[in-house]
């Protein structure tokens, strides 16, 4: 989570630009406003799962700091509240504004150091730049300045799981959701200030402090805001529904907010035993309102396992007296594993723009994006080894990331670093790659011999309920087909976009698995040339499989990363074709939609010209550019394991439904990572379906 106060923002997982003016509509009760958020910024993947703040960390001099500290101790009784904000706004020449960002993390069980003597939280610094028109924001991190905040004070063997930041009485504060300790951060140290007890304050357990905000001259500290229950939802107490009000001298008042939290969740129609969990709460002086971004919510009884898939997309706004609340639905990416864990208003925007953080967990552990984990390890390796990283080495590093994005069919910040390579647990195939010179269509043609195939029969819905004697398939051309069992072999993207309706709906377990697996996308470009200008790269035997293109910068790593030689291999063939094939992936995958095919081929050839400066690249004699992403019947290349998924989700998708519906295809076999291999094995595996039908 983030602080300080209302003026310093946190940052969310995904950036979106929304219509302006919605906040005024909401506050004036002019109805729901779907586009409430002007900006949600993706700045940090879930592995850091933590919290952001615009701040100026350091005093002008350590001597001044020590002098002020002594001064505070001597005359603290007389010293007035320090309302100074800790951020500095930099106004740039292009009209944009820039602030420093400071991040603390909750590393959960990993917060304990290797020697077991301390607990720590990773702290990061960066900048956030907001465009003049406030339509675009950019976050940059200074990884070389990472440091750890540590403590040896723990509770139950855990500590330093920092959850929020706030500027209060001229200090930068952070809170630990394991011990209830509130620290002030200064000179890269976390200095214990006070501890806040759970519930009404008469228990020995520290508050699970999840959020902090400042109203007037008082710090408000709160927890989950729901009844404390067992992992299966059995009621224990109301302690998490108490909040703490702290003054500048550290005096704590315990306040029962149960009625407040009940009213907040009632604003979106939830009543106990339903629940709502809070980690992002802020007070706005500008609007005179309380703002809540619930992390999770459900009308069902709390369940530790199910809770991980109950992320919300609501903002609830309450009056100063906390007696009246209005809710507004915020657009979402559809991933119900992500929930809000922090937000802040951006300075200078009259509290109409916010930055917010969404995070997620899997089996109680923070889920990380692969790209962030890779960059973190890479940075740490350089720091510890003392190796000087050259520009050439950086380019090779970016090439490797691009190669991985090709293998996964997705940008690595969408891929699970824990599970992305789960298919490699089993060794299956060996030997060289083989090229089907006549294309895969010849195999399909052979396999389909004797099969009744109806083309131009787009499926609209499938009715399969167990009460029916037979299942039925309804096509958009009006045709209907009945069967004992239905074998569904459509791309995952088609299932996710619900182009085919199921009546009744598929079981929730299968729908959840379908939504969690990623639909990877690459686009391929093949170009034929009148001569083999790359012939000097051939081996002594006259053959070449591929050669690489090392990108000039990170944003080009997915643009024609590899070139494959698909030229005629038989020197005695009557016709010699000289063909190079490459692909676009990651940030570059949409190039085939933003440009004409001829422009894509021109970029293809220019890339080759840059690689072969001493050659005159000839005019192409033919080309093929794929557009799988925009084809409604395809929409993807192959699947990948998203941040919120595991290999088990593939198994769930492959499960039959009541011995009536069966699924096959690329996304149904977790071990094989390529489209052709999966299809081959699935066709063999699902042949058992036919065997179960009684004729």
Could you list the residues known to form a binding site for Ca(2+), using ranges.
Answer: 163-164, 210, 279, 341
Q: Residues 155-171, buried b or exposed e (16+ Cβ, 10 A)?
A: eeebbbbbbbbbbbbbb
Q: Residue 586 and residue 321: Cα distance in Å, rounded?
A: 49
Binding site membership: which residues? 163-164, 210, 279, 341
| DSSP characters over 226-245 | S-EE-TT--EEESGGGEEEE
Residue labelled with tokens 């993207």: 493
What gap in Å lies between CA 548 and CA 582, rounded to an integer?
10
Residues paired with 222 in a beta bridge: 211
- How many other CB atoms are found less than 10 A from the CB of residue 440? 11
List C-alpha distances in Å: 693 to 130, 582, 688: 62, 44, 9
Beta pairing, strands 638-641 & 361-362? unpaired
Task: Please give the C-alpha separations between residue 3 and each of 123, 166, 229, 283, 355, in angstroms, as whole numbers.
Answer: 14, 4, 29, 11, 11
654, two tokens: 């492959």
3-class secondary structure, 100: strand
Beta-carbon contacts of 627 under 8 Å, excluding residues fewer than 6 positions away, are 523, 592, 593
3-state secondary structure of 494: helix
Whether residue 504 has a cis bond before it, omega within 30° of 0: yes
**333 touches 377 (CB < 8 A):** no
Q: How deeply is 195 buried, as exposed, middle or buried, from its count of CB atoms within 10 A (0-12, 13-18, 19+)?
A: middle
Is cis: bond before 96, omega within 30 of 0?
A: no
Measured in degrees and rounded to the nearest 5, phi and psi for residue 273 equal: -85, 5
CA distance 222 to 592: 49
Nearest Cα to Cα of residue 600 among 592, 608, 590 = 592
| β-strands 622-625, 523-529 pairing | antiparallel
Q: What are 680's two structure tokens?
A: 């081959």
| HEC assignment per residue over 252-304 | EEEEECHHHHHHHHHCCCCCCCCEEEEEEEEEECCCCEEEEEEEEEECCCCCH
Angstrom distance (rounded) from CA 220 to CA 3: 12
E-strand ranges in 106-241 read: 119-130, 137-141, 147-151, 162-168, 171-176, 181-186, 189-195, 211-215, 218-222, 228-229, 235-237
For residue 462, the surrounding DSSP H or E stretch is strand 459-463
Q: At what angle do helices 370-385 and 391-408 cross, to 10 degrees?
A: 150
Neighbours of 603 (CB within 10 A): 16
């Amino acid at each position: 989570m983030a602080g300080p106060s209302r003026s310093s923002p946190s940052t969310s997982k995904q950036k979106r630009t929304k219509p302006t003016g919605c906040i005024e509509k909401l506050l004036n009760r002019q109805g729901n406003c779907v586009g409430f958020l002007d900006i949600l910024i993706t700045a940090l993947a879930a592995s850091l799962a933590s919290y952001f703040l615009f701040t100026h960390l350091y005093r002008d001099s350590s001597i001044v700091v020590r002098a002020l500290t002594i001064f505070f101790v001597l005359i603290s009784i007389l010293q007035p509240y320090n309302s100074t904000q800790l951020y500095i706004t930099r106004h740039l020449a292009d009209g944009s504004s820039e602030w420093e960002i400071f991040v603390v993390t909750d590393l959960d069980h990993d917060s304990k150091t290797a020697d077991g003597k301390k607990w720590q939280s990773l702290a990061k610094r960066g900048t956030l730049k907001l465009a003049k028109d406030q339509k675009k924001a950019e976050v940059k991190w200074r990884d070389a300045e990472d440091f750890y905040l540590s403590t040896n004070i723990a509770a139950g063997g855990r500590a330093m799981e920092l959850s929020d930041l706030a500027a209060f009485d001229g200090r930068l504060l952070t809170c630990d959701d394991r011990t209830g300790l509130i620290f002030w951060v200064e000179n890269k140290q976390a200095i214990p200030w006070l501890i806040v007890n759970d519930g009404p304050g008469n228990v020995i357990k520290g508050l699970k402090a999840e959020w902090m905000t400042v109203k007037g001259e008082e710090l408000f500290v709160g927890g989950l805001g729901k009844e404390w229950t067992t992992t299966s939802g059995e009621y224990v107490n109301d302690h998490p529904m108490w909040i703490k009000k702290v003054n500048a001298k550290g005096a704590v008042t315990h306040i029962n907010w149960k009625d407040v939290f009940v009213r907040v969740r009632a604003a979106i129609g939830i009543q106990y035993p339903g629940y709502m969990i809070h980690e992002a709460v802020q007070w706005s002086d500008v609007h005179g309102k309380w703002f809540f971004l619930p992390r999770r919510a459900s009308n069902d009884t709390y369940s530790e396992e199910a809770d991980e898939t109950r992320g919300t997309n609501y903002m609830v706004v309450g009056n100063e007296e906390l007696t009246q609340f209005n809710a507004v639905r915020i657009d979402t990416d559809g991933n119900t594993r992500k929930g809000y864990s922090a937000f802040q208003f951006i300075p200078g925007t009259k509290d109409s723009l916010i930055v917010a953080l969404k995070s997620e967990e899997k089996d109680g552990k923070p889920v990380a994006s692969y790209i962030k984990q890779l960059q973190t390890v890479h940075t740490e390796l350089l720091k510890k080894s003392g190796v000087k990283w050259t520009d050439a080495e950086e380019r090779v590093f970016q090439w490797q990331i691009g190669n991985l994005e090709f293998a996964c069919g997705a940008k690595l910040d969408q891929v699970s670093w824990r599970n992305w390579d789960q298919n490699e647990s089993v060794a299956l195939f060996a030997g060289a790659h083989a090229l089907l010179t006549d294309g895969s269509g010849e195999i399909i043609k052979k396999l389909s011999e004797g099969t009744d195939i109806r083309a131009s029969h787009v499926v609209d819905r499938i009715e399969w309920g167990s009460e029916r004697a037979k299942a039925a398939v309804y096509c958009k051309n009006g045709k209907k087909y009945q069967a004992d069992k239905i074998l569904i072999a459509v791309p995952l993207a088609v299932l996710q976009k619900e182009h085919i309706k199921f009546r009744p709906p598929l079981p929730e377990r299968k729908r959840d698995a379908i939504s969690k697996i990623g639909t990877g996308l690459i686009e391929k470009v093949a170009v034929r040339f009148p001569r083999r200008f790359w012939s000097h790269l051939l081996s002594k035997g006259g053959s070449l499989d591929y050669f690489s293109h090392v990108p000039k910068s990170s944003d080009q790593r997915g643009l024609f990363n590899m070139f494959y030689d698909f030229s005629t291999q038989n020197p005695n063939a009557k016709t010699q074709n000289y063909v190079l094939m490459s692909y676009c992936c990651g940030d570059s995958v949409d190039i085939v939609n933003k440009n004409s095919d001829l422009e894509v081929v021109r970029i293809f050839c220019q890339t080759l010209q840059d690689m072969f400066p001493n050659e005159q690249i000839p005019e192409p004699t033919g080309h093929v550019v794929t557009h799988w992403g925009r084809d409604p019947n395809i929409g993807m290349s192959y699947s990948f394991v998203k941040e919120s998924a595991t290999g088990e989700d593939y198994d769930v998708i492959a499960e039959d439904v009541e011995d009536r519906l069966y699924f096959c295809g690329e996304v149904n076999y977790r071990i094989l990572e390529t489209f052709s291999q999966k299809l081959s094995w699935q066709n063999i595996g699902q042949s058992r379906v036919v065997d179960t039908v009684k004729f």
